[in-house]
Amino acid sequence: MYPFARLAWHMLLSNRQQDLSAGGLHESRHICWPWDVDVFGEMNNGRILTIFDLGRIPWGFRCGLARALRRRGWGLTTAGANVQYRKRILPFRRYTMLSRALGYDERFIYLHQSIWRKDECHVHVVYRIATTGARRMVPIAEVLEEMREPDWNPPLPEWVERWIEEEAERPWPPEI
């Protein structure tokens, strides 16, 4: 089941924090509960992607993206993800999640999220996020204008640029 109660809690906490710039860092604290765990005694890989919502959604509220979406009647969709799992997330362990936008291209915002315990990264993901309007994707420049961040334009890290290039080469529909 989707963690609605946890999302509500993190939204409440984020409402008490300062607003962020588009590239600002949102930090949140979490616990791996027994219902997050799979048969191998660790947080399930699919659950990890769901738990990343608990950082991504509050980040969107704090940086003004959610207000822009609401004003214009837009939506968001995840158009891709690149995940690296490195260390297990065990039950009852506390961890920190970091969420921030790395940059964008014409169509997508690239959001980086990671899960840390002490000084070790356990998982990190880059999401490619699209804004959707009436039957179309909204150009990111228009989204940034609505967020009142039209000048935000950091260069994407080289490894993200390579991922974008590789995704452009990937066949669609997939060859089975």
**What does the pLDDT average to over 21-48?**
97
Statement: residue 176 has pLDDT above 90? no
φ/ψ of 46, rounded to 5, equals -70, -35
User: Per residue in 101-113, pLDDT tens?
Assistant: 999 999 999 999 9
pLDDT band at 15 (very low <50, low <70, confident <90, very high): confident
Query: So what's the pLDDT on residue 43?
Result: 97
**What does the pLDDT average to over 166-171?**
94
Give the predicted TM-score (pTM) of the model.
0.93
CA–CA separation, 4 vs 37, rounded Å? 17
Query: So what's the pLDDT on residue 89?
Result: 98
CA–CA separation, 115 vs 118, rounded Å? 10
Q: What is the DSSP letter of 148?
A: T
Could you give all domains of the chain from N- to C-terminal order, each with its CATH number?
Answer: 4-169 (3.10.129.10)
User: Per residue in 142-154, pLDDT tens?
Assistant: 999 999 999 999 9
Residues sharing a CB contact under 8 Å with residue 169, sequence separation 6 or more, in sequence order:
none
pLDDT band at 1 (very low <50, low <70, confident <90, very high): confident
**What does the pLDDT average to over 66-71?**
95
Statement: residue 94 has pLDDT above 90? yes
User: Per residue in 27-36, pLDDT tens?
Assistant: 999 999 999 9
Statement: residue 77 has pLDDT above 90? yes
Helix/strand number for the chain, H first, E second: 6, 6
Joined together, the tokens standing for residue 7 give 């999302």
Alpha helices by DSSP H, listed for 16-116, are 45-51, 53-62, 65-72
Statement: residue 59 has pLDDT above 90? yes
How many CB atoms are located within 10 Å of the residue 85 CB? 15
